[in-house]
Structure 1
Amino acid sequence: MKDTHSKMAFLPLFICSCFFGFSQEKQVVPEIFEQYENYKEPLLKERRITHSDVEPLINRWKNHPEVEVRKVGESIEGRDLTLLSLGTGEKDVFLWSQMHGDESTATMTIFDLLNFFADDSFTSEKQELLQEIKMHFLPMLNPDGAEKFQRRNALGIDVNRDALRLQSPEAKTLKRIRDSLDADFGFNLHDQSRYYNAEGSSNPATISFLAPAYNYEKEVNEVRGNAMKLIVEMNEQLQKHIPGSVAKYNDDFEPRAFGDNIQKWGTSTILIESGGYPKDPEKQEIRKMNFLAILTALFSIANEDYQDKELLDYQNIPQNDSKLFDLKLTGLKYDLLGDSYILDLGINHGEVPSEGEDKFFYRGRIADQGDLSTNYGYETIDASGFKIVPGKVFPEVQENMEALKKLDFAALLEQGYAYVKVRNIPKGESFTKFPLHVVGPTFEVPQTLQPGMNPTFFLKKEGHPGYAVVNGFIYLMEGANPADLIVNALIFR
């Protein structure tokens, strides 16, 4: 990556004599996207980012002649709300992110976009774009929530349900900026559950769009229609990279929500929800898809080619559904009170905040069980004929956590052990960086499966290699590689 942070290589925004035809936008965006890694902000590597992470990135731009950096408000706890603007065009585009403190994917993307505009590539294309539009980025609207990686602000309210009362300073700031800009387009940037799928498909809803309704009748006027058409344009680009993984968010009118009201106030508003993607827990691939979608939209707004899109193509985007599990096991044999049953299990890995270096750990749970033939999994295993067997407790009590380091965990799993007793368990700890659960001396293994329970058991079938499931993570027992074991088990006292 070129040294965009020190060089900040914006060229003067003059009209290029070799005027770039916006009709070539569909070719330019893929070319830019191919070079995405050159623009990706290297200091943002994970979702759990706070105001102290983004403030130095914002400060980089304060002395740049082509970028206006303004403090536009403060959060309840006194953290700055900052707006970064660039471009000279008459079409104003307002993008705000992290209204919910734990929804940060697009916050990372905003800094990737700024790096793109600072890079010395695609100079003439950027010059023309910036002559047509003026962009305004508010990267982190709820920094107090981001500090704790929680949805709500310091008052405990959902800022996205404060568009009418305007009780919080964050909501007041958003409303004031929207009104002062009277923006032509607004991008309401969020994250959604990774368990959403595109309706009728096993594909996760990696990106979901919405042109919010502005009344209960869900009428479509020119303002909302333009948002719909722009979504069609973004969807066409995304389908080339995540086919079948784009969905449409529910458009029921919510009178307290900002997206619905900003649409009503005259700004064509697009909601972008970042969902799930296989093996992308920190949403780096989804961050990249946001970059593609927003960049596509910016060029389309500049040349107005979204006007040629059909509203029907927006309606044809599949709806969000909620039928995904992290792990789906089908056809399991389960014995209970002398009878045998066939069960499917849907297992999810919930994130639990943690102190210290580990910002979170996973707590597996059985999300559903029974006939799950209409559901899907990020990982699906046909376990037909395999019998569920409870894990055993290793009989040798360990003195402390340090003693566990001497155990051969792969061998213990092969012998059917899922729990290890420890006499002195540190207070306040809920998880362990070992692949077996740590339990107190009097712990007894649960003998029944129930929704909400921790999924820890073995799958056995005569003549076939078995599986171990510990805290919802599954391992094939035959030839198990210790390096493949997930070091995220729980502590039960």
Structure 2
Amino acid sequence: MKKIILITLLFMMNAISENYAQDLGKVLHENHDIFRESTVTKRRFGYQTLVNRIEQMKKDSLFEVSKATQSSEGRDIFLIKCGTGKTKVLLWSQMHGDEATATMALMDIFSFLENKKSTANEDQSLTQLRTDLLKECTFYFVPMLNPDGAEAWTRYTALGIDMNRDALALQSPEGRLLKKLVFDLKPDFSFNLHDKGRRYSAGKTGNLATISFLATAYNEAQEVNETRKKSMLIIVGMNHALQPFIPNAIGKWPSDFEPRAFGDNIQKWGSTLILIESGGFKGDPEKQYIRKLNFVSILTGLKMISDKSYEKENIKEYDTIPVNDKVIFDLIIRNATIKKGNSTYQADIAINRNERAVKGRDYFTQSSVIEEIGDMSVFFGTDEIDATGLTFNAEKEIGLGQKADFELVQDGKVIYKINNGVKL
């Protein structure tokens, strides 16, 4: 009887915890636009835009802004401190220069914390959240840790180094800074904020992994100590907060130990590290909705840290989050009739569209490519066309690697036109 009561109580505690995270997530989601940094509307916004925002923050007594170091090309890298609590949290974004979604979200979080856009009828849970965070925690933000890479829109630093493989060699000034901050500040918690390829799936499904989490491993055996356990519990709570908005579209990065990576080493050095990866969401090429999801998940995680509510989560739920896979193409055309030489056959056509940064601009060009021809039954398309009874028609015979410009016709009539991998 006692065992049954205990199980019932644990179930009720988990349900309460899940509902709490979802309720907070709903309020943050509904109110995000109030705090959205209006100067940023595209994910490639540049270093100077961030500098301008930081200059404004220097005028607010809430924030203590310092120049932590300079990049290889001489750009200042800023450390922003706020809050008075004993729990220390370090957050950084754009370790990889072309991964800017979380930087946008951090600027929105700055607006939330400084409380200049709130209204008299602000939801009281937001007011309480702001108060609790600043009272219980001290935050250290490093937005755009790799400004040279951000300006060039590349993963790498100006030295050509992948900074997230520089935790041991420390060949880059950016890498040296991050390790120094971890050892000097001794943060209790750290948030490592990234973007990933937009075609990753949540498990072997057709659902894009819009957000993925990871409690990084600290050793080859992928053991779970108290430090890593906290990461898992916080991720469970953030998953609860996001599921109502992107159901079944949350993944988990593989936890293989990478001895050169900062995330793995920071977990090893004793700071509970939560890794967040922003992937793809249909119809959101500039990741403005994913920016909102970052806002929701990061603040939910910080709330759980401030009141230790993560302790109420069920660690077993971490294992239920599907591991990222790559089974999604941008477009799959199924059962098309193809004529090549003297052969006529039926096959699927898988197409991807790849973006290329335009130097000195804030937009991208798109180039399509036919990736696969054949049986694609174990793959999914973000968009799909059932071409049963339709014939592939193009200026030249179909081939792997060629640009996806063609028509699908039936009895001489064009049913679908594909232009640079996009269905018109």
Q: TM-score, structure 2 length as denominator?
A: 0.91
Distance 1:250 1:48 in 2: 27
Distance 2:161 2:129 in 1: 42
* Structure 2 SS opposite 1:60: helix
Match of 1:61 in 2: 57
Match of 1:439 in 2: none
Contact kept in structure 1, 2:404 and 2:421, CA below 8 Å:
yes
Contact kept in structure 2, 1:87 and 1:134, CA below 8 Å:
yes
CA pair 25-293 structure 1, distance change in 2 beyond 3 A? closer
Match of 1:92 in 2: 88
Match of 1:454 in 2: 403
Contact kept in structure 1, 2:21 and 2:241, CA below 8 Å:
no
Match of 2:47 in 1: 51
Structure 1 runs, 4 residues or longer, greater than 4 Å off? 23-26, 355-358
Distance 1:195 1:37 in 2: 27
Out of 63, 66, 70, the residue aligned to residue 74 of structure 1 is 70
Shift of 1:26: 5.6
| Number of aligned positions between the proteins | 398
* Structure 1 SS opposite 2:217: coil
For 1:324-335, what aligned pairs fall within 5 Å after superposition?
324-335=328-339
- Superposed CA offset, 1:117-145 (max 9, x none): 12244334321221111111110010000
Q: Are 2:141 and 1:137 aligned? A: yes
* Structure 1 SS opposite 2:150: helix
Distance 2:228 2:308 in 1: 15
Match of 1:243 in 2: 247
CA pair 321-29 structure 1, distance change in 2 beyond 3 A? closer
Distance 1:225 1:162 in 2: 25
Distance 1:330 1:100 in 2: 36
Shift of 1:452: 1.6
Q: Are 2:416 and 1:467 aligned? A: yes
Distance 1:25 1:255 in 2: 33
Contact kept in structure 1, 2:407 and 2:414, CA below 8 Å:
no
Match of 1:118 in 2: 114
Match of 1:35 in 2: 31
Match of 2:105 in 1: 109
Distance 2:133 2:30 in 1: 19
Distance 1:53 1:24 in 2: 35
Contact kept in structure 2, 1:331 and 1:342, CA below 8 Å:
yes
Contact kept in structure 1, 2:331 and 2:352, CA below 8 Å:
yes
Match of 1:426 in 2: none
For 1:13-28, what aligned pairs fall within 5 Å after superposition?
27-28=23-24
CA pair 378-26 structure 1, distance change in 2 beyond 3 A? closer
* Structure 2 SS opposite 1:259: helix
Which residue identity lines up with residue 317 of structure 2 in the other structure? Answer: D
Distance 1:277 1:29 in 2: 18
Distance 1:132 1:466 in 2: 61
- Superposed CA offset, 1:147-174 (max 9, x none): 1100001000100000001110000001
Which residue identity lines up with residue 106 of structure 2 in the other structure? Answer: I
Q: Are 2:386 and 1:390 aligned? A: no
Which residue identity lines up with residue 38 of structure 2 in the other structure? Answer: P
Distance 1:365 1:113 in 2: 38
Match of 1:319 in 2: 323
Distance 1:183 1:317 in 2: 27
Shift of 1:357: 5.0
Shift of 1:24: 6.5
Which residue identity lines up with residue 307 of structure 1 in the other structure? Answer: E
CA pair 25-250 structure 1, distance change in 2 beyond 3 A? closer
Distance 1:258 1:289 in 2: 24
Distance 1:463 1:449 in 2: 18
Which stretch of structure 1 is more off in the superposition, 263-272 or 357-366?
357-366
Q: Which structure has more helix as a fraction of its residues?
A: 2
Contact kept in structure 1, 2:215 and 2:275, CA below 8 Å:
yes
Shift of 1:76: 0.3
Q: Are 2:167 and 1:218 aligned? A: no
Which stretch of structure 1 is more off in the superposition, 44-53 or 205-214?
44-53
- Superposed CA offset, 1:199-251 (max 9, x none): 13211000000001011100000000100010000000110110000000011
Shift of 1:465: 4.8
Shift of 1:449: 2.0
CA pair 357-134 structure 1, distance change in 2 beyond 3 A? closer
Give % identity.
43
* Structure 2 SS opposite 1:209: strand
Shift of 1:353: 2.6
Contact kept in structure 2, 1:159 and 1:171, CA below 8 Å:
yes
Which residue identity lines up with residue 461 of structure 1 in the other structure? Answer: Q
Shift of 1:451: 2.1
Unmatched 5+ residue regions in structure 2? 1-18
Match of 2:3 in 1: none
Which residue identity lines up with residue 77 of structure 2 in the other structure? Answer: L
Larger Rg, first or second structure (1 or 2): 1
Distance 1:192 1:27 in 2: 28
Match of 1:166 in 2: 170
Which residue identity lines up with residue 84 of structure 1 in the other structure? Answer: I
Q: TM-score, structure 1 length as denominator?
A: 0.78
Shift of 1:356: 5.9
Shift of 1:96: 0.3
For 1:144-223, what aligned pairs fall within 5 Å after superposition?
144-223=148-227
Match of 1:399 in 2: none
Which stretch of structure 1 is more off in the superposition, 186-195 or 57-66?
57-66
Distance 2:218 2:365 in 1: 40
CA pair 27-456 structure 1, distance change in 2 beyond 3 A? closer
